[in-house]
Structures are given as C-alpha cells and as structure tokens.
Structure 1
Amino acid sequence: MSVKHLAFSYVRMSTEKQIKGDSLRRQLEWGQQYAKTHNLLLDDGLRDIGVSAWKGINRKKGALGEFLRMVETGTITRGSFLLVESLDRLSRTQVMDALQLFTGILRRGITIVTMGPPEQIYTWESINGDFGQLIITLTVMARAHEESQRKSERIRAAFANKRKLSQLGVRTNSSPPRWITATQIAKGEFTYTLNERLPLIEWIFQRSADGVGFDRIAKELNARNEPTLKPSTRGWFFTSVANIVQSRAAIGEYQPHEGVDGKRIPRGDIIVDYYPKAVSEELFLRAQKITHRNRIGGRGGKYFTNLLDGMAQCTHCRSRMYILNNSPSDKQYRYLVCSANYRQIAVEDQTPVCSQGTMRFRYDQAEQFILDNVSEFGISDILQMRRVDADVQQREEKLASLSIKLEDTVRREARLLTVLESEDVDDLPGILALARQRTQEREKIEGLIRALRHERDVAMAKKRGLDPANAIQALRDAWLTAEDENDRYGLRVRCNTAMKDFIDSIQFDSREGSYTAILFGGYRAYKFFNITRVRNATQEPLVVDMQPLVNTGLWPSNLKHAEARQLIQHNLENTPAVTTQNYRSAKSK
C-alpha cells in the first residue's frame, strides 16, 4: 500500500469582505477534488484572510510564513504539495523577490499546483527543464506586481486628494472616532454629529482630570458593564482609556495620516475644528496634566492606599517612600520605607544607593498627622487659592486654547525644520519663508499666553481666596462616610491632587526619626516625629518659617531645583523651629 503524500491548500484574501463571495468555496472545492484525484492527504487550514501579498506580509507574518518555516525545518517533508488558486496568491512583490520565494519552495522538494485554468504543476525539475514554463511564471509574477503597483498608486493618489480636500475644509473622513457619527452628504463628503457615547467620553475625561488612573477608570467601566467603543467581549483596558484621553479628536482636531510600510505616518498640518468638540480644551488639558494616570509607581489599590504618593521622599537619597505590608487588616500597621534602601539598590561598584534610610514610619500616623494639621499650614496666607469666578474661568479657557495652538505651532515649526535638514528640498526659499512665518506665529502666541497669565493672576488676586484646607477636610469627611468603593477612591485621589498644589515634598529622615512637610518651594515647613506602638496618637508639629527670608530678599529667585533643595535643607537645619501654638501667637502679634 502506497503512502499518501500531504497536500496543503493555501488560501489568501486581501480583505475579509472577499470571504462573502464565491472564491473561498471554489478554491476549497478544487483543493478537495485535486487531493482526492491524486490520492493526497489534504490539510485545508492554511489561510491568510485579510493579509496582503503586496509587501510580502503573508510571507513574514501569515500562515504562509509558518508553512515556509515548517518546510525549512523538515516538518513538512519532500514530496508534499502546495495547492493555490494562482501564483499571485503566494506573492505580489517585485519579480525577483517573488521568484526567490517560488524557487525556494520548489528547491526543497515541494510541488506547487495552481488551479488555473489551465491547471499548472510546478516542480524543481519542470521549471529547470521547461523554459516556456519559466517564462510564463515570470510573466504571471510581473503582471501581479504591476497590478498591485497601479492599485497602490491609485489608492495613494485618492488619499492624497482626501487630505488636500480636508485641509480646504471638506470633511472627508468616513471613519471618525466612535463618539462621532459620520453622515454622507455627497460623494466623499460627510457631516459629523456627537452621538450617544458622548456622556461616556465626558465622564472618562472628568475622571482623568480628577486624578484617577487609566487602569482604575477601565476597572470602573468594566464593573458597570459599560460597552467598549469598538464592540468587544474583552472589556476595557489601560490602553482603551489612554487612547481616548490622549486623542485630540476630543477637542475637534484631525490629523491626516498616510500608511507607509504598515505604519500610520502624520501627513500635513493638524486641522482644528474639524470634528465637533466632545470636551472643552480646559478639561482636555487638565486630563493630560494629571501624572497619577500613568502606571509609574503602581496602582493605588481599591482604596488609593497611599495618600502621600508623589510627595513622600527619603531625605538621605531622594528615593520615593512606598508602603510596606499593605494589609487590609486594621490590626496590622502599614509602614513607609525608603524604596532604595528596602530593595538594596546599589550602583556599579556595589555601593548602596541609600544606607541611611533604614527607619520604618507608621503610615497611618503620617497621613493622620498631616491631614489633622492642614488647617495649621496657613495655606491661604501664601498660596491664596482663589474662587474661580466667570472672569477667571474665561481666561483659563483662553489659556487652554492658546496652549493647544502653541503646541500645534511648535509641531509645525519642527516639521519644517526637519524638511530643511533634508538634502532634497525643491523650494528652499519658500520653505524658509514658511519657517519664519511659523516662528513668528509661535512667538506671538507665547506673548499672548504671558499677557493672559498676568491678567488671570491679577484677577485672581483681587478675589478673596478659598483656603484649600477646607476643601481637603471636606474630601476627608466625604471618604470616611462614603459607602461606594469607587467614590472613596476618587475622593482620595482628588485629595492627593489638592495636597500636591501646596506640599512640595514630605522628607522622611531616618536618623532623626522625623518627617517634614515642605510647603511652597520651601517657604515653610512642618516637622512631625515617628511614634511607634501607639494607637490614636496626636501630635503638634514644629514649624520652620522661612517667609522672613523671602521678605528680606535673602531667598534667591529662579533657583535651579537642586540648588533650591540644598537651600531648603540648610534653612531647615539652621532656622529655629517652634510649636504651632507659639507660631500662631507670634503671627497674631
């Protein structure tokens, strides 16, 4: 009894839409009939659907690529058959590349059969012995490449024309973001309206602006079974939320792109007011500026456990402090530890990054003491956080709009400079003139921003401020009584964000067993001491006030960060500390 050889039926279609036609059924039936007629054992699972052969993608990533690897390793043995509709199913690359693929398969003893008509059988022997078959093969390969080349050029020209029309104000994008509905009003022209997903987009931006991380937002959306923008059973992810918050389409902008080697490359300038705005520019910017949304530093857990995140530092090495023994039990203390010391991080010569930050600080006390004394920080005396009335709000919105325009102008200016640096510039005088124009636009916008910021600051200074201590206390009261887990998390995140407005850092000193909250660039500092094995402790901090140094001009302006840090530390060590009670008494005189 003869051993049956294997036959592999390879089906490739550039788009999934082609499945709906008759081609797939026809190819499969032909493969089955050929295998039956020639007593072959058929494997018809070799399919590349939605994979192009124009750039050889099916050879690199698709099922054909896997077939080639199995041929090379000997898993698919000599004497096997590869059944295809035509040679252009294998490749539409340039003739020599296609020929290399074709002969590489034949050289390893694989017989290629094409459906035709007429049906063709290719072997290493036949292609070397029949010059006519080789000429026909090369002709088929050349025609396949030319067809794809012409199609590619037509598509590129069509998209280039769409980009040109878009720059002239014609809405040509048929696939806007999924919170926008496109309605065709003419051939290749659309009108856009915000759809029923708008409230979701607004909610996501607001949560991000409040300081809630992308991971947490995704978790909340999954918990309430919110459908994803693109239908999926996998739910929301970090990237799902990040792509929405970082999309400038939310403020109406459209960046035309061009596909190059499978990548989307920006082409031309950003078009403003292309889409209807889903959120205000002010909200968009606030959502971008919240650093907590990033994954750096890990998640905050169900409760946003570390309220001091982003502020707590080791005095000795400036590494962040993180919570050790993050237990849900009230009977077990949580401690803040120097991350560098705890992880035993060392430099190249094995010298520890931090050998002094060895103390464990009670986290519950650190949070409690700082929150209990927020009202003592005298925030309204220095920061003067003002009530945002209609006048100030209007300036904030103008600033947000100008900031976005400045970012766009800088991007355009950089793009022109990149063009100028290239060796092949057709219109050098024109490009130089346009570059000068962009530079002037940027400088004009920067001037407007400076003037508007001054007007905003003057307007805010004329209004009586709201001490953020009151706001923080209100948030604290709210999360202590909140029953919903997501509400508690959001309230603590907002409190963390509010605290960062006036607390530069909280320095944990293991040698002294203290931690110091440094406010307003070092103008004032409040020192607490670590207390162990005591529940429900209270503590009155020591105050170090460096405001007199500012008033007398002894505090230099425009200090670099490292210099300012050194000066702050020097003043902390050499400025007398007093109790908050004595400090209040002195201030009242």
Structure 2
Amino acid sequence: MKAYSYIRFSKQSQAQGDSLRRQTEAIRSYCTKNNLTLSTQTFEDLGISAWKGANADTGALGAFIKGCESGAIQTPCSLLVENLDRLSREHVRKAFGLLLQLLDLDVTIITLMDEKVYSPDCDQMDLMVALTYMSRGAEESQTKSDRVRKAKQAKREKTLAGEVKFTGNCPKWLKLNKDTQTFEEIPEFVETLKRIYDMRSKGYGIVKILKTLNEEGIRAFGLKIVKDENGEPVKDKTGKVKKVPSKWSQTTVVNYLKSRAVIGEYQLKERGVPVGDPITDYFPTVIDPELFYRVQDTFTKVTKGRTTTFRNALTGLLSCHVCGGPIKFDHVPPKKGRKHAPNQYLRCKSTYERKTTCFKGMINYSGVLSSVIAMTAYLNFNKINSEDYEALTAKLAELETNRIDTEAKLNNLSAVIQAGVTAPNFVKDANRLSSSLDEIKTDIDSTKAKLSSVEPSEAMKSIDSLDLESEQGRRDLNLFLKQYIKKIEVTKNDVYVTFLSQQIPDPIRAPLGANYNNPELLSDYIDKTDLALNIEDYFEFDPE
C-alpha cells in the first residue's frame, strides 16, 4: 500500500523555522521504520490555515481528496500527517466529517506524533480518540482567535484615541520612529512623490509618468528579492537575502496617486472591511489636499484604461441655441503625410441624429472659440468680482470636508452591511447619511455657482498667453471660462454667451469668428443686444 505525505503550517513565516524540516523528517523516519513505500508525489499546504478549511477547499489536501475520488490516486493508501490538527482546525463537526470522508475513500490516516493509525475499519474507540483530538484543536484555534481579536480591538481603540500607532507598517515614503508613536518622512521618496503628483496635475498620462521616472533613473520605493537562474533567492555573505530597488510599474504609480495616506489618512480594517471612520492626521501630510483632489479628478474620464485626450476647450458649456440640445464636437486628424491642421467642428447632436432640423451642416469650432475668448477677454473682472470671494471659498472648503467625511462614513457602513454584519440602526443610519450627503452636494453646487462668478484668476490675466496647442493649455482655458460662463449657445452665424454673474442676466451675442484684437466688431454686436444694463460697466471698451 502506497503512502502519501501531507505537510501543513499556517503562516509563510514558519517556512523560515523548523516546521517543514520536522514534519518531513518525521514522515521519512516512520516510512523507513514501518517499511512503507513513500510516494514521490507530496501534498503541501505551506502558509495555509486550516481554521476555516481553506486547505481542504482549495489547497493541496483538497487536491488529494479529489485525486482519490477520481481514481488518479489509487486506494487503499495511507496519508501521513504530523497530527490530526494538520488536517483541520475547524469546528469539530466539520473536522470530524473530513476525517470520515477520508476513511470512506479507503484512506488510512497515520498521525506521526503518537504513531496512531486510523484505518477505514477502525473501531468506535479510535473514532472517539480522534474526536477528542479534533475538538481540542478547534478549541485552541478559537481561543487564539478570540485573544488576537480582543488584542486588536484594544489596540484599535487606543489608535482611535491617538495613544498608539496601530501598526508599524506605513507608506513606503515614511518610516516609524523608534518611539513607535510618530512617523518620519524619507526626503528622497517624498520629493519623488511630489514630482509624480505634479506631473499628473499637468496632464501627464500614467505611461508618460512611468517612462519619465524610469528614464531619469529615479529610484522606486520598494525592494525586490534577487533570484538566481533557478528562481531561488540569492543570499549575501552574512546569509541575508539580497534585495535591490524594484522598477516602477503603472499599478504602483496609480496606487500612489490614489492613496489617501498622502494627505495623512489611515483606514482601520477588519478582514479587509473598513472599520469606523478614516483617522485623519495619522500620517504626516506630504501632498497638499487641494492638489490631491485635483489629481483625483483626472481619473474621472477614462476610455479603455486610458485617459481621454482633452481637445475641446469648451467642454461642458456648449448647447444649441435653437433646440437647447447638446453640441457634438468632432476632431478629424490630418491625413498621413499632410501637414495641415486637424479639422475641428461642431454640430447639433439632435440634427445629426435626425431628431430635429435646427440647422444643417457644421460650425467651425475655432470660430466659436475665438468669439467666446473675445467676449471673456473684455469682461471687467473688477466689476463682476464684487461679492465676498473669501467667504464663499471658506464655505466651499467646509462643505467639501463634510462631503468627504460623510461619504467615508456611508461607504464604511455600506461595506459592513454587505459583509453580513447587522444591527438595528445600521440601515437607518445609512439612509440618514445618504440624505445628508445629498443636501451637502446641493449646497456645494450652489456655492460653486456663486463662487464661479467672483473667483479671481491671477494666473489667467492674459488669455493670450495660453498655449491652446497643448492639452494643458486647453484644460486651463476650460477651467477659466467655467469661472465666468454658465453656457454657450451656437447657431450657424452667432454665438450666445450666458455669464454666471447675476449682474449680466441676459445672453451676450457675438458674431462667429469675432476676434478680441478687433473690439469694434464685437462692440457692434453687443450694442445691438437688448440688455437692461450699462454695457460700459461690464466690458472694458466703449461701444460706439
């Protein structure tokens, strides 16, 4: 009868200890002593716990059972284990059921600690002994689990109270000080992190950031183990495993750009499920929060894993003056080998889809853009920016903080509910938080609308300085226009601009293709509009 070996230990760290050698030596010794033929096919679950039955479900023990059931492993045979708790540490009913399953498959279980043999025809007394052993193993695991859980809970409470750090593990740009109470920045890594955020905020794609880091030889934060040609770790003269800096990857860059640890937050988790609210100011803040949230916005528009190219500087503002529907932007690149500029044009989406007949044909995009820039360039910003900018800015910052906190609480509570944890007030609290979040978002939109008409833009004093050939230049112009413009309506010949400022309540009409270097043409159109305001007060030229 052929014998098979089964070796298991719960943690990967035990591979550095004596467990593997001890179990292997015991199996060989027993086979030699009892003239058993040990199969060269071994079954090992190294670093897999038997507390939840993972070894029997998806591990090597499960593979052994399936082999016996399919006939790939011929039975009768023997399975050698150090003791019964190597097979299972689940509740005694499940653990004992696993033993009976193996016996029913005509597998003899041999435990090496006491050299006890459990054969398929063993008597009731043998089964009682096995039941006792398995019950004790399950109780020990339950006791250990309870102790660990209580210890973690106590430490979690101290962490929330700010008394201790929950773990020494921290982001790779930080290290835990010897006092175990504070973290220290690693200057080289923090500077690299700031460089990554800066590149992303300027419109760099992930691939371009990755290429820049690797080409400039900027060291990655992590380390990787050096392995020989056989895949085995290489050790230095002192016996330590050699490690070298790892290379940058797209996943690493994205993870750093989305990590809330850069703004000092830490989220406690229990088995992967967030517990409680994120702890603020847990880590040192290394990235300005305003820059962090600006970078998060760059991940909102993605197509097939790649950020979309920002070609239309009027995105989010355009509509049809006739039907009020959306305007479609088309970009046709020049044909291969030709140097002329790409064709960019606009058309009413409803007409394009044959739902309406507002106007046929296409509108020159550059003509619309030129008219919008012309009107915006001559706005009297000092007159428009008369509201309390600082007060609105402070209110918006407070609302954004409340939104982030409320979203985090709602996400954590939803994760707990989805994990199967229930309590009488959980659903009620989730509904309350959801309603509160809706109110906060409404207030944010309202405040942004007010702020848009008063926010100064020192960096954009000269629209002419923008490089609209670059993606970043078009983004900057779009952000600038949205500070002052509510919507832009187009027809075949004219552009109608509605400003956010309540001081200019009616749309301003301008000809398609108006140029702000020729204010006479523009002022003639503005003069012809029936506005209940003094034009000279709000535009910095005097229409004739």
Normalised to the residue count of structure 2, the TM-score between the two structures is: 0.69
State the Cα distance separating 1:416 from its structure 2 match.
Answer: 7.5
Of the three residues 507, 520, 540, the one matched with 1:585 is 520
Shift in alpha-carbon separation, 1:554–1:107, aligned structure 2, 3 A: same
Of the three residues 65, 69, 74, the one matched with 1:68 is 65
Q: 1:383·1:520 contact (CA, 8 Å) conserved in 2? A: no
Shift in alpha-carbon separation, 1:91–1:167, aligned structure 2, 3 A: same
CA distance in structure 1 between the partners assigned to 2:17 and 2:96 by the alignment: 29
Q: Tell whether 2:117 aligns with 1:121.
A: yes
Q: Tell whether 2:16 aligns with 1:16.
A: no
CA distance in structure 1 between the partners assigned to 2:102 and 2:314 by the alignment: 59
Task: Tell me what 2:153 maps to.
Answer: 160
Q: Residues 177-576 of structure 1 correspond to what in structure 2 (within 5 A)? A: 177-185=171-179, 189-195=180-186, 196-224=188-216, 226-232=218-224, 235-259=247-271, 264-291=272-299, 295-299=302-306, 307-308=311-312, 311=315, 373=370, 376-381=373-378, 399-400=396-397, 403-412=400-409, 424-425=423-424, 458=454, 460=456, 466-473=461-468, 476=469, 492-501=470-479, 520-523=485-488, 525=490, 543-547=494-498
Shift in alpha-carbon separation, 1:210–1:546, aligned structure 2, 3 A: closer
- Letter of the 1:217 partner, please give it: I
Secondary structure at the aligned position of 1:124 is classed as coil
Q: Tell whether 2:108 aligns with 1:106.
A: no
Task: Tell me what 1:511 maps to.
Answer: none
Q: 2:319·2:326 contact (CA, 8 Å) conserved in 1? A: yes
Q: Which whole-Å deviations, capped at 9, do the CAs of 1:57-106 have from their partners, x for residues lacking one?
A: 22233222333333333222223332221111111111111122222222
CA distance in structure 2 between the partners assigned to 1:32 and 1:468 by the alignment: 82
Q: Which whole-Å deviations, capped at 9, do the CAs of 1:109-143 have from their partners, x for residues lacking one?
A: 23322211x112223222xxx11110111111111
Shift in alpha-carbon separation, 1:548–1:24, aligned structure 2, 3 A: closer
Q: 2:486·2:498 contact (CA, 8 Å) conserved in 1? A: no
- Letter of the 1:27 partner, please give it: Q
CA distance in structure 2 between the partners assigned to 1:355 and 1:526 by the alignment: 17
Task: Tell me what 1:534 maps to.
Answer: none
Q: 2:200·2:295 contact (CA, 8 Å) conserved in 1? A: yes
CA distance in structure 1 between the partners assigned to 2:373 and 2:425 by the alignment: 66
Higher share in helix:
1
CA distance in structure 1 between the partners assigned to 2:132 and 2:95 by the alignment: 11
Secondary structure at the aligned position of 2:456 is classed as helix
Task: Tell me what 1:484 maps to.
Answer: none
State the Cα distance separating 1:254 from its structure 2 match.
Answer: 1.8
CA distance in structure 2 between the partners assigned to 1:99 and 1:337 by the alignment: 74
Shift in alpha-carbon separation, 1:70–1:438, aligned structure 2, 3 A: closer
Q: Tell whether 2:74 aligns with 1:77.
A: yes
State the Cα distance separating 1:212 from its structure 2 match.
Answer: 2.9
- Letter of the 1:585 partner, please give it: E
Shift in alpha-carbon separation, 1:33–1:190, aligned structure 2, 3 A: same
CA distance in structure 2 between the partners assigned to 1:455 and 1:324 by the alignment: 36
Of the three residues 169, 173, 180, the one matched with 1:175 is 169
Shift in alpha-carbon separation, 1:28–1:153, aligned structure 2, 3 A: same
Q: 2:262·2:287 contact (CA, 8 Å) conserved in 1? A: yes
State the Cα distance separating 1:43 from its structure 2 match.
Answer: 3.1
Q: Which whole-Å deviations, capped at 9, do the CAs of 1:128-171 have from their partners, x for residues lacking one?
A: xx111101111111111111111111111111111111111123
Q: 1:81·1:110 contact (CA, 8 Å) conserved in 2? A: yes
Shift in alpha-carbon separation, 1:417–1:257, aligned structure 2, 3 A: closer
Secondary structure at the aligned position of 2:251 is classed as helix
Task: Tell me what 1:144 maps to.
Answer: 137
State the Cα distance separating 1:256 from its structure 2 match.
Answer: 1.5
Shift in alpha-carbon separation, 1:211–1:420, aligned structure 2, 3 A: same
Shift in alpha-carbon separation, 1:427–1:225, aligned structure 2, 3 A: closer
**Which runs of 5 or more residues in structure 1 are unaligned?**
342-352, 357-365, 477-491, 505-518, 528-541, 556-570
Shift in alpha-carbon separation, 1:54–1:309, aligned structure 2, 3 A: farther
Secondary structure at the aligned position of 1:249 is classed as helix
Q: Which whole-Å deviations, capped at 9, do the CAs of 1:331-383 have from their partners, x for residues lacking one?
A: 89988999xx9xxxxxxxxxxx9699xxxxxxxxx99x589959955443469
Task: Tell me what 2:360 maps to.
Answer: none
Q: Which whole-Å deviations, capped at 9, do the CAs of 1:501-534 have from their partners, x for residues lacking one?
A: 3689xxxxxxxxxxxxxx944435497xxxxxxx
CA distance in structure 2 between the partners assigned to 1:85 and 1:319 by the alignment: 73
* Deviation larger for 308-317 or 397-406: 308-317
Q: 1:523·1:545 contact (CA, 8 Å) conserved in 2? A: yes
Paired residue total:
478
CA distance in structure 2 between the partners assigned to 1:355 and 1:59 by the alignment: 62
Identity percentage of aligned residues:
26
CA distance in structure 1 between the partners assigned to 2:413 and 2:83 by the alignment: 46
**Which runs of 5 or more residues in structure 2 are unaligned?**
226-245, 356-363, 524-542
Q: 2:49·2:55 contact (CA, 8 Å) conserved in 1? A: yes
Secondary structure at the aligned position of 1:93 is classed as coil
* Deviation larger for 171-180 or 450-459: 450-459
Secondary structure at the aligned position of 1:272 is classed as coil
* Deviation larger for 197-206 or 412-421: 412-421
State the Cα distance separating 1:52 from its structure 2 match.
Answer: 1.2
State the Cα distance separating 1:175 from its structure 2 match.
Answer: 1.1
Q: Which whole-Å deviations, capped at 9, do the CAs of 1:169-188 have from their partners, x for residues lacking one?
A: 12322212221211242xxx
State the Cα distance separating 1:384 from its structure 2 match.
Answer: 5.9
State the Cα distance separating 1:198 from its structure 2 match.
Answer: 1.0
Secondary structure at the aligned position of 1:8 is classed as strand
Shift in alpha-carbon separation, 1:212–1:102, aligned structure 2, 3 A: farther
Q: 1:32·1:42 contact (CA, 8 Å) conserved in 2? A: no
